[in-house]
Structure 1
Amino acid sequence: MASGKKVFIVGPGFIGWAVLDLLAKENYEITGYARRQEHADQIKASGATNTVLGDLNDKALITKHALSHDIVVHTATADHLPSVEAILEAVKQRAEKGQSTIYIHTSGTSLLDDGAAGAYKGEKVYHDNVVSEIDSVPDNAPHRQIDLTIVRAQKQLGEKAKIAIMIPPTIYGYNPHHGRLSIQVPVLTQYALKHGFAGHVGAGLPVESNIHVNDLARGYITLLHHLESTPASSPDILENPYYFCETTGDNEPSWVDIASLIGTELHKAGLIPDPKPRTIPPETYGDLFKDHTPAVIGLNSRSRAVRLRELGWKPIEKSLRESYIQDELPVILKENVDHKAFNGYHKAVAS
């Protein structure tokens, strides 16, 4: 689908850059909002028509550029309220002028965290075609306050805008043209290299759905085309903004399965003495995700992308296991870093 429509991508990083590549192939006019000139140059080479340098806290700048775009995609983080408010302000101002906007926000399935902290496999599975299932999560769940801000704005705007929330699970995959790794599994690998064993939170029994970044990017494009072609008055748009995007179905690996994969491969490479995974001592959570560690890599978060599949989307990329062995691990091991100095990932996590 070729298009002359203008897309503003806020945070074209690991997820958004992959989305940008696909939009460029379909001849969308893309403006990328980036923090660094180096990255702005990279996305320009990938097909961005324009780039804007700015911080997520610069609400006026984000609103200014969102005002001149028909489509806004926020992929920077699931937990930054000022940037979301800036986009919603632009959507409202455009609505007042009779201009409709498509806004796709990125949340994450940490939203579904049941507090298992590694202790058990949860039986609850969430389906995005049943809005009440997602609305049943507590208001204080991860990402939920941001999502609720968007849902409230959607209800106020009604048919004047088309708003959707993409909710990805654990993301994996590697694009050699981008040179960016995902978060959870690479961080667990770095932890293993530092501490000499592959680890999991608690018993490692919980499971989280997962998705390859390129399958996820195609999910955004499928969703965008659906929003473009569906009337704003459709109940499909007005009554349910939520979309999951997962590849695993009922074959979700547990966190101990993921630790076993890491342990086996690092042991095979002669980098740790024992392939068998072990429970991570809580006092070392600072080398992972600090106090958020149980909620990031010890949760049950089981989602089903019913709606995207009904639109014709399906995952086609490598499995998490194949991608880790063939793509991510070789990159991690080639990095010229002191693994002993690794002290975790302390920024926001999307999923």
Structure 2
Amino acid sequence: MATKIFLTGATGYIGGETLYQLVEAHPEYELTLLVRNEERGKPVAAAYPKARLVYGSLDSADVIEREAAAADIVIHTADSSDDQPSARAIAKGLAAGHSAERPGYWIHLCGTGILTWYDLAHSRFGEAPLAEQAYDDIGSISEILSLPRDAPHRDVDEIVLGASAAGYPAVRTLIFCPPTIYGRGRGPVNQRSVQVPRIVEYALQRGFAPVQGAGLSEWDNVHIRDVGAFFVRAVAAALDPATRDDPEVFGPRAYFFLENGDRHKWSDVARWVADEAARRGLLPEPAVKTVDDVPSLGTNSRGVASRARKYFGWEPRGPSLKDEIPDAVTVEAERLGKV
């Protein structure tokens, strides 16, 4: 019997890449995709005619509960880190449709924005990371599980963790936390990331690339194709007897970070963008200026992806963030009609 997967976010950047790689690697999977409406679903249906589309928003609890109950694996990527109603619906559906003899697996997309809590709480923007702001997803799991309740995404993570704690072994969860994601996706609708394109857009519209505060804040990063590869491995782990019953892979401690070891300062990214835009004649000069209106570029997010490497053998293969800057500038220049 084919593995049944319920995926939200097929029209999104991460969900679209995940869908692409799942179909490429395992065309035998039986995919059900949640999309907002038929019009939104047309490009998805055209690209993936074998997939089954169901229509509804993240507030469509009846649809989400029904499909989660029927699926072997739920992959939640549609505004998953911050939408409580959809998380509650998935938890309810998995609990209703599964048992210890037939567990339901939930692969939930969060993000390492959760690690920015200290900078946000203390309005500490643009400063270098403190030593205690580095989190290893195995070695620091106790600290990760006890982050403040007002940390970004923490409210939804608690719903996921609660489903695992209350429903285990019938409901088994994995929380996936990527950092800055870059590169062009291969999904049917949105192929554009968020953080780097915003810097490029800012530069092309205002004539300079922004640096928040002192410009010393740091984030990890990972290419979108390495993110998609992680999801493929996570699904395989849910089907593998060697990992599917391991609570370190699917359970209350199963937080998976991702990073390629090539941490960046946001000030460096701004300089790379300014240099490339000036080289193309899109800026009169490679100007970078200190600002105070992009606090998201002033936080620190540092995580070590020990768990993915240990349990999945995952290793990043994508090009570096710096190498992808020329394409990011191209995409934004075309989108803004600058070329």
TM-score (normalizing by structure 2):
0.89
Task: Measure how far apart 1:209 and its partner are.
Answer: 0.5
| 1:262 match: secondary structure | helix
Task: Measure how far apart 1:38 and its partner are.
Answer: 4.3
2:306 maps to what in 1? 306
The more displaced of 141-150 and 122-131 is 122-131
1:333 maps to what in 2? 333
Counterpart residue type for residue 87 of structure 2: V
- Partners of 1:153 and 1:223 in 2: CA distance: 18
Counterpart residue type for residue 316 of structure 1: R
The more displaced of 136-145 and 89-98 is 89-98
- Partners of 1:169 and 1:145 in 2: CA distance: 19
Task: Measure how far apart 1:232 and its partner are.
Answer: 5.3
8 Å contact from structure 2 (residues 32, 53) kept in 1: yes
- Partners of 1:80 and 1:234 in 2: CA distance: 27
Say whether residues 1:132 and 2:142 are aligned partners.
yes
| 1:33 match: secondary structure | strand
Which segments of 5 or more consecutive residues in structure 1 lack a partner in the other structure? 286-292, 340-351
Counterpart residue type for residue 136 of structure 2: H
2:8 maps to what in 1? 10
- Partners of 1:140 and 1:176 in 2: CA distance: 34
Counterpart residue type for residue 42 of structure 2: D
Cα gap change, 1:158 to 1:337, in 2 (>3 Å): same
Counterpart residue type for residue 177 of structure 2: I
Cα gap change, 1:235 to 1:163, in 2 (>3 Å): closer
- Partners of 1:24 and 1:141 in 2: CA distance: 35
How many residue pairs get aligned? The number is 323
- Partners of 1:192 and 1:36 in 2: CA distance: 35
Cα gap change, 1:97 to 1:109, in 2 (>3 Å): closer
Task: Measure how far apart 1:336 and its partner are.
Answer: 4.8
1:170-185 matches, cutoff 5 A: 170-175=180-185, 178=188, 180-185=191-196
Note the alpha carbon deviations across 1:2-57, whole angstroms, 9 max, x for none.
Answer: x8111110112110111111221202111111124344232233335111121111
8 Å contact from structure 2 (residues 125, 298) kept in 1: yes
Task: Measure how far apart 1:272 and its partner are.
Answer: 2.0
8 Å contact from structure 2 (residues 69, 98) kept in 1: no
Say whether residues 1:262 and 2:270 are aligned partners.
no
- Partners of 1:256 and 1:140 in 2: CA distance: 27
8 Å contact from structure 2 (residues 208, 274) kept in 1: yes
Q: 2:227 aligns with which of 180, 201, 216?
A: 216
| 1:102 match: secondary structure | strand
8 Å contact from structure 2 (residues 65, 90) kept in 1: yes
Cα gap change, 1:21 to 1:246, in 2 (>3 Å): same
- Partners of 1:79 and 1:177 in 2: CA distance: 22
Note the alpha carbon deviations across 1:156-208, whole angstroms, 9 max, x for none.
Answer: 11211221000010111103664521001101111111111001211111101
RMSD: 2.1
Counterpart residue type for residue 71 of structure 2: H
2:43 maps to what in 1? 42
8 Å contact from structure 2 (residues 17, 187) kept in 1: no
Which segments of 5 or more consecutive residues in structure 2 lack a partner in the other structure? none
1:114-129 matches, cutoff 5 A: 114-115=118-119, 116-123=124-131, 124-129=133-138
Q: 1:88 aligns with which of 88, 91, 98?
A: 91
| 1:323 match: secondary structure | helix
- Partners of 1:143 and 1:173 in 2: CA distance: 24
Say whether residues 1:143 and 2:153 are aligned partners.
yes
Q: Which runs of 4+ in 1 moved over 6 A?
A: none
Task: Measure how far apart 1:217 and its partner are.
Answer: 0.8
- Partners of 2:93 and 2:100 in 1: CA distance: 11
8 Å contact from structure 1 (residues 34, 54) kept in 2: yes
Counterpart residue type for residue 235 of structure 1: P
- Partners of 1:109 and 1:234 in 2: CA distance: 23
- Partners of 2:154 and 2:186 in 1: CA distance: 33
- Partners of 1:145 and 1:203 in 2: CA distance: 31
Counterpart residue type for residue 4 of structure 1: A
1:49-68 matches, cutoff 5 A: 49-68=51-70
| 2:6 match: secondary structure | strand
Q: 2:82 aligns with which of 79, 84, 90?
A: 79
Counterpart residue type for residue 172 of structure 1: Y
- Partners of 1:276 and 1:221 in 2: CA distance: 41
1:158 maps to what in 2? 168
8 Å contact from structure 1 (residues 17, 43) kept in 2: no
- Partners of 1:252 and 1:214 in 2: CA distance: 17
Counterpart residue type for residue 273 of structure 1: P
Cα gap change, 1:176 to 1:162, in 2 (>3 Å): closer
- Partners of 2:336 and 2:304 in 1: CA distance: 38
Counterpart residue type for residue 223 of structure 1: A
- Partners of 2:166 and 2:62 in 1: CA distance: 22
- Partners of 1:279 and 1:182 in 2: CA distance: 23
- Partners of 1:53 and 1:177 in 2: CA distance: 18
Note the alpha carbon deviations across 1:269-305, whole angstroms, 9 max, x for none.
Answer: 222233142112x3xx3xxxxxxx42x3211101111
